[in-house]
Structure formats: structure tokens, C-alpha cells
Amino acid sequence: MIASTLAVVLLVACGGGGDQELQSLGPPPEASPTGNASPTAATGTTGTTINGSGGPVPTTSPGITGSVTTGNAIMAISGALQTTQPTLPLSSPAVYAPPPGAFALNWASAAAGFALGGTSFVGTHPTSADLRLTLFVHSASGTTSYSSTDGGCQVTVTQAEASAFSGTFSCSGIADVNGAHVVDAQGSFAAAG
């Protein structure tokens, strides 16, 4: 009772004229993004564009045809830098569509992880401009990253269905982004919807 009386007093004191004035305000303005992020768009292989700035997401063909939300991976790095990660959970980003769609998946922990992205497929392919593998290891001295787009890694995908993606990778002699450390790496990955 005291709270509602206080609200009426504040409304009158601030020049509020009751329900008629509240209705004249109209709907609230749309929220706009803040920070350094800019609106993004994703384009599917069929030409459908989904804008990050709003609008309904397509629910029928040629809309989004697959997604994954959970998964785990294993990674071992040897050479100039060594780590074994037996349980890397699927992390953000996790964008996936079955062949011939696009994917960008990331498995990571506080210590290390890897990201894999390109056009989805089944079989074995070397890393290339269309299939990128990035490894990263966090330590007290900072983060060391390795990226392969030049055939230094072989990626084997054994399953690429609407809500399941899995396989293995093996890398030989890839250098970090500064060229200071060369490592070998191998691992397996799985994601499901």
C-alpha cells in the first residue's frame, strides 16, 4: 500500500497525468548494440543471408539446416611447446551446417584449445584457404597460437550430419604466428545438436 501510494505521488510530482499520458509515450525505442561489436551477417551456400541486425530467421529451406550445441575434443601438442588436453568442451563460436554448408567450431579450456572452420565435408582434406585449423595454448607468459591454411595439417571428418560432426586432425611441423616455435599436433573432435 505504501509503495503504490509513493508511486502515485512520484507520478503526479513528475508531471504524470495518469494512464492517458503513459499511453502517449508509444512503444520503447529498439535497443542498439554497444561496444565495439558491429552487426554481422552469415550467408549460406544457397545464397540466403541472415543479418545480425534483426529480422526473422528463416525456418524453411533454404534456411539453417543444422546446428551443434555440445561436444568434446582431445588435443596433444609436442615439439617446442608441449601440452595434452584430454577434455576440451565445445565453446563459442559454434556455427555448423552439414555439407555443403559452412562451419566455424571451437573447442577450448582455460589452458588451450583449437578452432576449425571452412566448408563442411566428409573425408580427409589438408588445411587450405577453405579449411583452417588454429591451435592455441595459454600460459603465464601469454598465448601462443598456431594456424594452418597451407596443408600442414590433415583433417579427417568421419561424420557430418545435420546435428553431428566428428573427426580427427594431425599436424606436422607447424610454426607459431611469430615463427619462433615449431610443433606437431594431433587430436579428435565431436559436436552434436
Is residue 154 classed exposed, middle or buried when 0-12, 13-18 and 19+ CB atoms within 10 A define those classes? middle
Give residue for cell 590433415.
154
What does the pLDDT read at residue 127? Answer: 97
Q: What's the pLDDT tens digit per position in 126-144?
A: 999 999 999 999 988 889 9
Residues 6+ apart with CB under 8 A from 89: 70, 71, 72, 107, 108, 109
DSSP summary character for residue 152: S
What does the pLDDT read at residue 85? Answer: 96
What is the grid cell recorded at 135?
Answer: 591451435
| Segment 182-190 mean pLDDT | 97
What does the pLDDT read at residue 180? Answer: 86
| Helix runs in the chain, H state only | 2-13, 19-24
Q: What's the pLDDT tens digit per position in 55-112?
A: 343 333 333 345 899 999 999 999 988 999 999 999 987 899 999 899 999 999 999 9
DSSP states along 68-112? --EEEEEEEEEESS-EEEEEEEEEEEEEE--TTSEEEEEEE-SSE
What does the pLDDT read at residue 46? Answer: 38
Q: Helices (H), strands (E): how many in the chain?
A: 2, 12
Helix (H, G, I), strand (E, B) or coil at 59: coil
Cα separation, 122 vs 156, whole angstroms: 7
Stated pTM of the model = 0.65
Does residue 24 have a pLDDT over 80?
A: no
